[in-house]
Structure 1
Amino acid sequence: MMKRHNSAALPPSTGGEMHEETTGKADKSYKRPSRCSRLCSFLIIAAAFSMLACHCYDYAHGGVARVEHGPASSRRRGGSPFSDPAVPPRRDTGDRKVSADNEARELAAADARRRRELCTGQYIYVQELPSRFNTDMVWDCEDLSPSKGMCKYTANGGFGPRLRGGDGGVLQETGWYDSDELALDVIFHDRIKRYECLTNDSSLASAVYVPFYAGLDVARHLWGHNVSTRDAMALEMVDLVTARPEWRALGGRDHFFVAGRTTWDFRRQGDVDTEWGNKLFRLPAVRNMTAIVVEASPWDRNDAAIPYPTAFHPATDEATFFWQDRVRGLERQWLFSFAGAHAEDSKSIASNLVEQCRASAACSLMECTKGPSNQCDSPASVMKLFQSSTFCLQPRGDRYTRRLAFDAVLAGCIPVFFHPGTAYVQYTWHLPKNHTDYSVYISEEDVRRNVSVEERLRRIPPEAVERMRGAVVGLIPAVTYSDTSTKLESTVNDAFDLALWGVIRKVAKMRKRIAEGRAEDEKPEMYSWKYPLLGEGQKAEDPHEWDPLFAFN
């Protein structure tokens, strides 16, 4: 991260020291007894009138008389000499102004050099778009969801309403918000405004950010609107962006935007009103861009998944470290827990897990319901459950991914996954490639065959449990979107940082392929889920145990 400086980081002014020093000397001279003759007195008075006359002349003509006070005077910086009664006016206004200007230029040049050193290869150019493509949607927040009041969730830069601590010690006093899991469009845009390496020169940029709130746009048109209405703003955005000179440099392959929903909301195949979502991700121009979502497609290469927003947005590194220490040392009374409900989809194993949890004395169950009284929507309730559990069950539901998996990590609870599409093939910029480092995998088929989850978990050696818990706690910054509005500097790379660097690396690899004259896209998209998981010498065509789970169709 680029270090930001404020006035406290600059060399301190010695003006006060000078004032104290000269005043002290004057006080001593006034205490000496005078032994001058009348002639001496006359000469002193004459000299005083002479000095006063010079002073008046200099003051009237803007001059400043030079008064040397040893080495201290050379350290004085800034301010008017008339602001300090112990420092007489100086004659060298012009020289001093030149010196100050030179110093300012030197400081600016040094800052520019530091910025180039830190930002080379990390510059981001923000594409200009009319406000109707982003912030106007926040102002018209009543239209974002027909069933959920979204206005409060777009507050505080997309973090939502602040939560106060005191929930039985479950949450810290600060840094907690009632964040909506689909508010990533606003959170990312608000954060990138404070990114240290923004540039107005697109030729220097490693990537171009398009501030289009694609997730909010589709959300307000998912129900009760025809396909033309759902596609209108997406098509307009493409027309605007592709007409810009920044697009022509690489045909948009260095462009990215955030669509803070699952990929399936933007992949409508036909033009029938009964089909779901819009066709944003299927537009030819958009297929050149990188779309950041909370759940990506395993079979497409123009989207990338980053973590769902949780409720924790620390404002300082110390707040992050404090939380990590806190969850690391918790006593966990339950072997495992499950926050979920019976599934309507017969393919889901959620109902199996509800029944297993109910039947076990080592499991704590939180049944999720629909409506405002749903405990699973309460950050304090979820944290209380997960903080008391060693393992947290994370099956897929009506989609592969779930925000509760990141809540589990935040609570220091080891996630148990049942399908690789829930995390392993999704968040490759944020989670370790080796999933056994931080999680447990039990296949859905094993659960359907009534394999006991409790027995599987009890077989894990205590030392392995401690190792995984340590890895989970270490992942907390990587799945957290920090509040940088009050931060001067940071040593912690959060979810935003990792997402941005993921985009930059992706674009850099593409530029390298072009420079080497290689095919623009050598890899079949049907194996997209495999590529980030391949080891040295492995090929996407090689057999993998998860192949049947991602059979391309």
Structure 2
Amino acid sequence: MEKPITGKCSQQLWLVIFVLFVLCLVLSCFDYSTMMGAKNEVTFLFNQPNPLVILENETNSATNQSITDPFVETQSNIDPCQGRYIYVHDLPSRFNYYFLENCQSVTRGTSFNMCPYMVNSGIGPEIENTQGVLSEKSWFSTNQFLLEVIFHNKMKKYQCLTNDSSQASAIFVPFYAGLDASQFLWSPNISVRDSSAQDLLRWLVEKPEWKKMSGRDHFFVAGRISWDFRRQTDESSDWGSKLRFLPESKNMTMLSVEASSWKNDFAIPYPTNFHPSKDSEVFEWQNLMKTQNRSYLFTFAGAPRPDLTNSLRGVAIEQCRSSRACKFIDCSSDGSKCDNPAHLMRVFQSSVYCLQPPGDSYTRRSIFDSILAGCIPVFFHPGTAYAQYLWHFPSNATEYSVYIPVRDMKVWKGNVEKILLGISKEKEMAMREEVIGLIPRIIYADPRSRLETFEDAFDLAVKGVLERVEGVRRVINEGGDPGVGFAEADDYKYTFTEWERFE
């Protein structure tokens, strides 16, 4: 009988294990010495962080650069604010904050009280009873004359502000021009009307920032139409101040709710009541406007002007009242309350088209209220929108609006209802889609926050100013005269001829 082989096998097994252990020990020591190197620059492999994190956090390191490091380093050194820096003048409070503290003075000559609208960074009190028409916590009772306050507060949140004016691409002057002018618009003393503007300009021209480009990189915002600042005579019966005809002021760019025909004035949207604080609030509102049941073919909201005979507004009211397909919102003192956003938006949301004839001036806040509601605007004059909001509306007007040019009311025999009924459903749907897509571009997001995805009206206005100033710099660098064309009048800006392609 043979001896069991168990003892012999176990001895061989332990020998194999011992040899493998020695071999692993030798290999690990060799690998350790290779990783450590002469200067011990790298830690143990299992202590290294995620290599993607290293790429993000160590692009400026001068050691251990791979073949792609120069590209990564170049990318990391790019300043996202290059060409976008804005310096804000710290003006004496009499030119801005005074009006917030003395809000009762800014409507002198009227019975209107602006004080309740100054809260929440100028967007007014939150609308609480929306009657199910407006989305919650993003609608406010906003006064259309507070654009300069809203814009200033949004500028405080601008991501590319700088305290170094030499680094700035543009200089913002936070002068509340509209609130200042409203104190004295009805004063017979033109010296009083012009005094603040003259004092402001004397203050500005003494600053080193002004001397750099003689003020052509400076801009400010006005919450009133440009014509309120372009009094052409020194007759006390002439309206407004002379701010924009003062020599130094001609070198600045002014943004206002309605531009003049001069090339240093630019129009930006009137403030509406919608001030979302998050992108999701914009998406939700746009989706809601896409699903509205629009039972009216067209709507007009406005007050009659008995003193304006043969006016477009009068014809719009007359044709709307005589049509079963139209809803007229009477904004006169004895009519419906057009200052009730819920009431106004309910009707606009129920309408396919919204008539926008000129009123006391070319433009109307109602343009932007109707766009908010997904109601396609109908224009009768190029000065109402096409020649105005160049930074905010598409260059092809037929994409988002209907144009019915009325050159002479005395000979115009057009029927609005018949014209609108002649538009195909396919074209109507395409225009409404475009209108709803414009909503982010014509609103001012809540100044206490900022949108992440969308560019709002403020963002587009700032971008437009920066491009304008950069254009002036190019002229200077090429040896040209930066004053040529900067503040000239454009006599053809509001004529019908330029816009015939949209008829």
Q: TM-score range by the shorter chain?
A: 0.7 to 0.9
Q: Which residue of 2 aligns with 1:349?
A: 312
Cα deviation digits, residues 457-479 of structure 1 (max 9, x gap): 01111110011000000000010
RMSD: 2.7
Consecutive unaligned residues of structure 2, counting only runs of 5 or more, are: 1-43, 50-56, 62-71
How much does 1:368 deviate? 1.2
Question: Contact 2:188 / 2:237 at 8 angstroms: preserved in 1?
Answer: no
The one-letter code matched in structure 2 to 1:287 is: K
Deviation at 1:359, TM superposition (A): 1.1
Mapped to 2, the partners of 1:352 and 1:378 lie a distance apart of 25
Q: What is aligned with 2:448?
A: 485
Using the TM superposition, give the Cα deviation of residue 543 of structure 1 relative to its aligned residue in structure 2, in angstroms: 6.1
Matched, 1:499 2:499: no
Match for 1:333: what amino acid? S
Q: Hey, what does 1:320 align to over in structure 2?
A: 282
Confirm or deny: 8 A CA contact 1:307 1:406 kept in the other structure. Answer: yes
2:452 and 2:182 map into 1 onto residues whose CA distance is: 34
The residue number in structure 1 matching 2:405 is: 443
Distance in structure 1 (CA, Å) of the matches to 2:154 and 2:113: 23
Q: How much has 1:412 moved relative to structure 2?
A: 0.3
- State the Cα distance separating 1:74 from its structure 2 match: 9.4
Name stretches of at least 5 consecutive residues in structure 1 with no aligned partner.
Answer: 1-69, 76-101, 534-539, 548-553
Q: How far did 1:275 drift? A: 1.9
Residue in structure 1 matched with residue 385 of structure 2 by the alignment: 423
The whole-number CA distance in structure 1 between the counterparts of 2:89 and 2:480 is 28
**Match among 153, 176, 182 for residue 219 of structure 1:** 182
What amino acid is aligned across from residue 126 of structure 2 in structure 1?
A: R
Instruction: State the shift of 1:525 in Å.
Output: 3.3
> Would the aligned equivalents of 2:105 and 2:183 in 1 still touch at CA under 8 Å?
yes
Partner Cα distance (1:310, 1:478) in 2: 12
Distance 1:464 1:521 in 2: 44
| CA 262–492 in structure 1, closer or farther in 2 if over 3 Å, else same | same
Counterpart residue number, 1:161: 125
Query: CA deviation digits over 1:266-297, x for unaligned, max 9?
Result: 11122222221110000110100001111111
1:432 matched to 2:394? The reply is: yes
User: In the alignment, is residue 181 of structure 1 matched against residue 181 of structure 2?
Assistant: no
Deviations 1:442-488 (A, max 9, x none): 1224765221100000111111001100000000001000014244x
Any idea what SS the aligned residue of 1:196 has? Answer: coil
2:476 paired with 1:514: yes
Task: Name the CA shift for 1:528/1:71 in 2 (closer, same or farther; >3 Å).
Answer: farther
> Which residue identity does 2:87 align to in structure 1?
Y
Match of 2:431 in 1: 468
1:255 to 2:196 alignment: no
- Name the residue aligned to 2:205: 242
Specify the code of the residue in structure 2 equivalent to 1:428. L
Distance in 2 (CA, whole Å) between partners of 1:502 and 1:486 is 22
1:550 matched residue in structure 2? none
Cα deviation for residue 349 of structure 1 reads: 1.1
Give, in whole Å, the separation in 2 of the partners of 1:132 and 1:526.
31
Structure 1 residue 166 displacement after superposition: 3.8
* Distance of 1:328 and 1:464 partners within structure 2: 15
Distance 1:234 1:115 in 2: 42
Contact 1:336 1:362 in 2 (8 A): yes
Superposed displacement of residue 226, structure 1:
1.2
Dislocated runs of 4+, deviation >6 Å: 70-75
Identity across the alignment (%): 47
Residue in 2 that maps onto 1:152: 116
Change (3 A) 1:522 1:223: closer
Pairing 1:22-421 to 2, within 5 Å after superposition: 117-146=79-108, 147-167=111-131, 169-224=132-187, 226-298=189-261, 300-343=262-305, 344-370=307-333, 375-421=337-383
Distance of aligned partners of 1:332 and 1:492 in 2 relative to their CA distance in 1, 3 Å threshold: same
> TM-score of the superposition, structure 2-length normalised?
0.81
SS at match of 2:482: coil
Cα 1:248/1:445, change in 2 over 3 Å: closer
Query: Take 1:219 and 1:115, find their aligned partners in 2: how far apart are those partners?
Result: 48
8 Å contact kept, 1:341–1:351: no
- Whether the aligned pair in 1 keeps the contact of 2:263 and 2:489 (CA below 8 Å) is no
Deviation string 1:320-340 (CA, Å, 9 cap, x unpaired) is 010001001111000001112
Give the number of equivalent residue pairs.
435
1:191 and 1:385 map into 2 onto residues whose CA distance is 31
Displacement, 1:153? 1.2
Write the letter of the residue equivalent to 1:156: N
- Preserved CA contact (<8 Å) 2:187 2:193: no
Residue 527 of structure 1 and its aligned partner are, at CA, apart by 3.0
Q: In structure 2, what is the equivalent of residue 6 of structure 1?
A: none
CA distance in 1, matches of 2:447, 2:76: 21
Length-normalised TM-score, structure 1? 0.74
Partner SS state of residue 163, structure 1: coil
- SS for the counterpart of 1:177 is coil
The DSSP-based 3-state class of the residue aligned with 2:283 is helix
Checking the alignment, whether the CA contact within 8 Å between 1:345 and 1:398 is kept in structure 2 is no
Give me the whole-angstrom Cα distance separating, in 2, the residues matched to 1:544 and 1:118. Answer: 38
Deviates more, 1:146-155 or 1:414-423: 146-155
Classify the secondary structure of the residue corresponding to 1:117: coil
Please report how far the alpha carbon of residue 116 of structure 1 lies from its aligned counterpart in structure 2 after TM superposition.
5.5
Q: 1:425 & 1:245 partners in 2: Cα distance?
A: 35
Residues 116-153 of structure 1: CA distance to partner in whole angstroms, max 9, x if unpaired? Answer: 62111110000121111111111100101132100011
Q: Which amino acid aligns with 1:164?
A: E
Task: Note the C-alpha offset of 1:521.
Answer: 4.7
1:65 corresponding residue in structure 2? none
| Higher alpha-carbon deviation: 469-478 or 270-279 | 270-279
Contact 2:150 2:447 in 1 (8 A): no
Q: 1:414 to 1:543 in 2, by over 3 A?
A: closer
Q: Could you say what secondary structure the match of 1:525 adopts?
A: coil
Distance 2:491 2:234 in 1: 26
Kindly state the Cα deviation for residue 73 of structure 1 after the two structures are TM-superposed: 9.6
For the residues of structure 1 that align with 2:483 and 2:430, how far apart are their CA atoms?
A: 39
Q: Indicate the SS of the match to 1:365.
A: strand
Contact 1:395–1:417, Cα closer than 8 Å, also in 2: yes
Q: Distance in 2 between matches of 1:72 and 1:136?
A: 63
Letter in 1 for 2:376: I
Distance apart, 1:230 and its partner CA: 1.1
Contact 2:329 2:336 in 1 (8 A): no
Contact 2:121 2:448 in 1 (8 A): no
Query: Using the alignment, how far apart are the partners of 2:215 and 2:150 within structure 1?
Result: 23
Contact 2:148 2:222 in 1 (8 A): yes
